[in-house]
Amino acid sequence: MRYLVLLLLPILGISCYSFRGISIPEGVQSAYVPNFKNNALTAPPTLFLDATETLRDKVRDEARLVITDENPDIQLIGTLVDFRVTAEGASPAGDVAAFSKQNHLTIVVAVEYKNLRDPSDEGWKSNFSDFYPFDGNVALAAVQDEAITTILENINEKIFNRAFAGEW
């Protein structure tokens, strides 16, 4: 029985892995992801660094590229464009006359992608955004860390898919 479990563990591990259709250009082994530029005046002071590090981690871990600033194969240059909270107004609860206000924290980043190994590849520039809804009676400070983490995960997934999975 113990041997059967040992034989099944690798199979179970493989079945949990998702092949995402990642397509890394031939010969690409390294990436340059410099610190994001911060153009979002109302953003927390370290948000541009958090956005940079989470994107670096995703490229390193999922694309298996070395992050370097010396002679990279591709580059992903980002700018933190917007950080805002908007009130989304009232939303009815069924047919009851009760209303609840909801806020959205929205983050927008602009990213420029270039394949430095292939001069014929023009690359791309795109904005990526995501929002985190939260109760209008709750202060942003109470949900900000969780909201930023969730939003950056979602934005980085979009950036990664555009860069390495051909999804747009």
Q: What is the pLDDT of residue 99?
A: 53
Per residue in 15-57, pLDDT (tens digit) is 333 345 788 888 899 999 999 999 999 999 999 999 999 999 9
Per residue in 52-100, pLDDT (tens digit) is 999 999 999 999 999 999 999 999 999 999 999 999 865 555 544 445 6
Q: What is the pLDDT of residue 26?
A: 82
Give the CA distances from residue 165 to residues 7, 19, 37, 168, in Å, rounded to whole numbers and listed in that order. 32, 11, 25, 9
Q: Where are the domains of the chain?
A: 2-164
- What is the CATH number assigned to the segment(s) 2-164? 3.30.160.150
Token output for 114: 């270039």
Per residue in 94-138, pLDDT (tens digit) is 544 445 689 999 999 999 999 999 988 899 999 999 999 999 999
Distance CA 50, CA 148 (A): 9
1, pLDDT greater than 80: no
